[in-house]
Amino acid sequence: MRVLVTGASGFLGRAVAAEIAAAGHEVRTFQRRASGVPGVADVLGSVTAPDEVGRAAAGMDAVVHLAAKVSLAGRPADFEAVNVGGTRTLLAAATDAGATRFVFVSSPSVAHAGASIVGSGADPADPSRARGHYARTKAQAELLALGADSASLHVVAVRPHLVWGPGDTQLVARIVDRARRGRLPLLGHGAALIDTTYVDNAASAIAAALERADAVHGHSYVVTNGEPRPVAELLAGMCRAAGVPAPAWRVPAGVARGAGSLIEAAWRIRSGADEPPMTRFLAEQLSTAHWFDQRRTRAELRWAPAVSLDEGFRRLAAAYGR
């Protein structure tokens, strides 16, 4: 197949493009800067520019859409333009190009209303209850994508949860930086069970959804390693791999949520492009359980993770030279 992968300059997008290319497909990537993936053809542009999107999608048999605005802060209009508008534009371009498969890379946050998630599957995306601009607009975009599923364009949504690994500048780098500066507390008792996904497993699951799109289209799938661990253990494993101290102090979860709301309000009126150190959504994510039933995902995508969490921690430590 000729496959367009958007957002391939990002951590997960780069791994997905490499995975699909390694399977023997012809891969074109589309993003604002070079992907750095060997053997693919980069096309530079923005998902908010219809002409650029149309040129990127021309001649493609399939699209894997990862490009998104991912942030804890920012103007609502920017999230709308990239996450919702960009998805709408790409769906139209894929249809015009005659593509027959479309994999939308989503997030479990599209169905999260703030409470613990204990053994759930892929509940329906719900923009009205999603927490924060990112989750709300990704929920809108997922509904938009699945709404375009048809006999001629098979659409699948894949929701990897907390993707991490060597080279991760979002989750791992932030945890390590805060731990190094002594600013990484445990929220509550640190016992909440959380599923995460090693990057190679997330990439192979998305590639599996592409291969299986004809059979599983119209559905959403949450993807994780299927190894829920206490959040304190996960944070300690990442810190140990990087050679920094694990969290040694605690903040009550309710206090963190309240502080997150106040910090969010302050960030809305201050200048600067940096992200707030805490938000209510982040506090909820770090203090409530998030683990998922993976039986349907594995059976229908005919996929299983190849890299365990412990092996992932070993690879992460090697990347830090330890």
Residue appearing with tokens 């994508």 = 145
Please state, in angstroms and as integers, the Cα–Cα distance from residue 238 to each residue in 108, 148, 231, 307, following that order: 22, 39, 11, 16
The whole-angstrom separation of Cα 135 and Cα 138 is 5
Q: Which of 134, 198, 221, 320 is catalytic?
A: 134
3-state DSSP assignment of residue 78: helix
What are the structure tokens assigned to 70, written together? 């991912």
The whole-angstrom separation of Cα 240 and Cα 313 is 9
Is residue 134 part of the annotated active site? The answer reads yes
| Residue 45 covered by a domain | yes
Q: Biggest alpha carbon distance in the chain? A: 55
Q: Using an 8 Å Cβ cutoff, are 252 and 152 in contact?
A: no
pLDDT at position 212, please? 98
First to last CA, the chain: 40
The whole-angstrom separation of Cα 315 and Cα 18 is 18
Q: Kindly report each contact of residues 248-256 with a partner whose C-beta sits within 8 Å and lies 24 or more positions away, as own/partner.
A: 249/185, 249/186, 250/185, 250/186, 250/187, 250/188, 250/189, 250/190, 251/185, 251/186, 251/187, 252/187, 252/188, 253/187, 253/188, 253/283, 253/287, 253/288, 256/185, 256/187, 256/283, 256/286, 256/287
| Residue 175 covered by a domain | no
Give kind and range of the element (H or E) at residue 307.
Answer: none
pTM: 0.92
| Residue 287 covered by a domain | no
pLDDT at position 250, please? 74
| Residue 259 covered by a domain | no
| Residue 85 covered by a domain | yes
Please state, in angstroms and as integers, the Cα–Cα distance from residue 247 to each residue in 68, 183, 243, following that order: 31, 8, 13
Phi and psi angles of residue 244, each rounded to the nearest 5 degrees, phi first: -120, 160
pLDDT at position 130, please? 86
| Residue 238 covered by a domain | no
* DSSP secondary structure of 14-75: HHHHHHHHHTT-EEEEEESS----TT-EEEE--TT-HHHHHHHHTT-SEEEE------SS--
User: For residue 16, what are the domain limits?
Assistant: 2-168+196-226+292-310
User: CATH number, domain at 100?
Assistant: 3.40.50.720
Q: How many domains in the chain?
A: 1
| Residue 236 covered by a domain | no
Per-residue pLDDT of the chain (322 residues; tens, 9 = 90+): 999 999 999 999 999 999 999 999 999 999 999 999 999 999 999 999 999 999 999 999 999 999 999 876 678 899 999 999 999 999 999 999 999 999 999 999 998 876 778 788 888 998 998 888 999 999 999 999 999 999 999 999 999 999 999 999 888 988 898 889 888 787 777 888 999 999 999 999 999 999 999 999 999 999 999 999 999 999 999 999 999 998 877 776 565 556 555 555 555 566 555 556 556 556 666 667 888 999 999 999 999 999 999 999 999 999 998 7
The whole-angstrom separation of Cα 216 and Cα 155 is 8
Total residues found in the chain within this entry: 322
Q: Is 249 exposed, middle or buried, given 0-12, 13-18 or 19+ CB atoms closer than 10 A?
A: exposed
> What burial letters (b/e) apply to 36-56, b meaning 16+ CB within 10 Å?
ebeebebbebbbeebebbbeb
| Residue 181 covered by a domain | no
